Amino acid sequence: MVAEMMKTIAIPACLVTAILLAAIRPALPNDKLHEAPESLRLNRITPRTAQELRELFRYTGEPMHLVSAHRGGLKAGFPENCIATFENTLEQTFAIIEIDPRYAKDGAIVVLHDATLDRTTTGRGLLSDLTLPELKDLRLKDCDGRATSFRIPTLDEVLKWARGRTVLVIDQKDVPVEERVRKIEEHQAEAFTILIVYNFRDARKCYDLNKAIMMEVMIPNRAKFWEFDETGIPWSNIITFTGHTQPEDPELFDMIHTKGACCIVGTSRNLDRHLTVGRAKENRGAERRYRHLLKCGVDVIETDLPRRVGRLLYGESDISASKASLFRRRQ
């Protein structure tokens, strides 16, 4: 058919080639539409090496005040653990992105928080009962339970997307530390990934497998501080999660900072619930409480509301001069 067209109509060969490529190119999932090569519209965090990532999270006494977008920061029309949602968050604030990997029936690793499909997708039952092609037929739901056009991403897709855009904080769910390390190595992603580990045994395992990988380690009190200190893992390899409330021990942040590490506190289970739409008085009180956390020594706030909390934290003076080269404001 193409040959006949060229005989009867004078069509440049280059145009014919373009037509053919367009015809055979498969339709892209909606998430892929958000992976444009240029990302000037995003507020990007851009460590290029594992050393630069460690430098990003090295405590210097200067303000950093990062937001960690819990499950990517869902909102109406934008589901949790979705590439389109990650980009929407970064359009409005600097953020690192926390995600949740799980195994499909065929061993593929997808990014979804729940072990079941009902709450966050158009599917039903256990995620582990479906293969990747079956999961890709489903659509993600937003925070109001409405189905969107977005598909469940794989961990591979998210790792490819994140390079040059942000830092991924990869939770465990049912994917062990060995497999998450393998995926990071496969994508050469040591510069822009952090693994969440829930005990010091797994922290040691991760460090022994790959000494370049950073980890988020749970250190909620003094006893855990000293227990971690005895593992021999460098403090430069970790950022500490101290809990979902301010630690009872007011000196814990100072102890961690003395080791050169930064501290994360989660607000998704409490303080975020007080930051509501249309209630100015309550919002002012909540904003003061977020800022109080920063004054007490919190460096990173993990939140379900990264767009709103980010706007509370970021101004021209909130990125220290020593780390400014790792940040790119949207243009």
Catalytic residues: 70, 113
Looking up tokens 């706030």 gives 301
Q: Are strands 327-328 and 44-45 parallel, antiparallel or unpaired?
A: antiparallel
Tell me how far CA of residue 200 lies from CA of 224, 252, 283, in angstroms: 9, 18, 38
- Reference 272, options 63, 42, 44, 68; nearest CA is 68
Q: Helix (H, G, I), strand (E, B), or coil: what is residue 61?
A: coil
CA-based diameter of the chain, in Å?
Answer: 83
Strand partners, 215: 195, 238
Q: Could you give the CA distance from residue 300 to residue 66 in angstroms, rounded to a whole number?
A: 5
Segment holding 312, helix H or strand E: helix 306-313
Side-chain-facing half-sphere of 276: CA atoms under 13 Å: 7
Q: Which residues contact 269 (CB under 8 A, 6 or more apart)?
A: 244
Check residue 149 and report its DSSP letter. Answer: S
